[in-house]
Amino acid sequence: DAKTTQPNSMESNEEEPVHLPCNHSTISGTDYIHWYRQLPSQGPEYVIHGLTSNVNNRMASLAIAEDRKSSTLILHRATLRDAAVYYCILRDEGNAGNMLTFGGGTRLMVKP
């Protein structure tokens, strides 16, 4: 599977937007970009995913570069509850196993 690169940690102020970057320069044409997050002492939870176009849902927005070699998860107004580890993961549409390969993720700290 193609690998992703994320900063180890980021800091944000409460109620401000947060942009979490992810580099995936070896992405293939059938790789979907998925984001999961893991709150303290909980299992990971799905945030959003996309293939080529930008995506929005109630939790976040996903901006995908035109060449698909990078993407950005956008939290429009960070809350204290958004403090978590955010994982950017590539999943191959053709991978029958559908497995998630987690990296180290980005630890987001939100200051009040």
Q: Does 45 bind another protein (CB under 8 A)?
A: yes
Helix %, strand %, coil % of the chain (to 5): 5, 45, 50
Phi-psi region of 98 (alpha: psi -120 to 50; beta: other; left: phi over 0): left
Query: Is 49 one of the binding residues for another protein (CB under 8 A)?
Result: yes
- Give the one residue of 53, 66, 98, 112 binding another protein; rule: CB under 8 A: 98
Interface with another protein includes 68 (CB under 8 A)?
A: no
Query: Which of 3, 5, 46, 52 is the binder for another protein (CB under 8 A)?
Result: 46
Please give the size of the binding site for another protein, defined by CB under 8 A.
Answer: 23
Residue in 7, 27, 10, 26 with CA at minimum distance from that of residue 105: 7
Residue 32 touching another protein (CB under 8 A): yes
Q: Is 44 in the site for another protein (CB under 8 A)?
A: yes
What is the rounded distance in angstroms from the CA atom of residue 86 to the CA atom of residue 100?
A: 14
Nearest to 77 by CA among 110, 45, 100: 110
Q: Using CB under 8 A as the criterion, which residues of the chain lie in contact with another protein when the complex forms?
A: 32, 36, 41-46, 49, 85, 87, 91, 93, 96-105
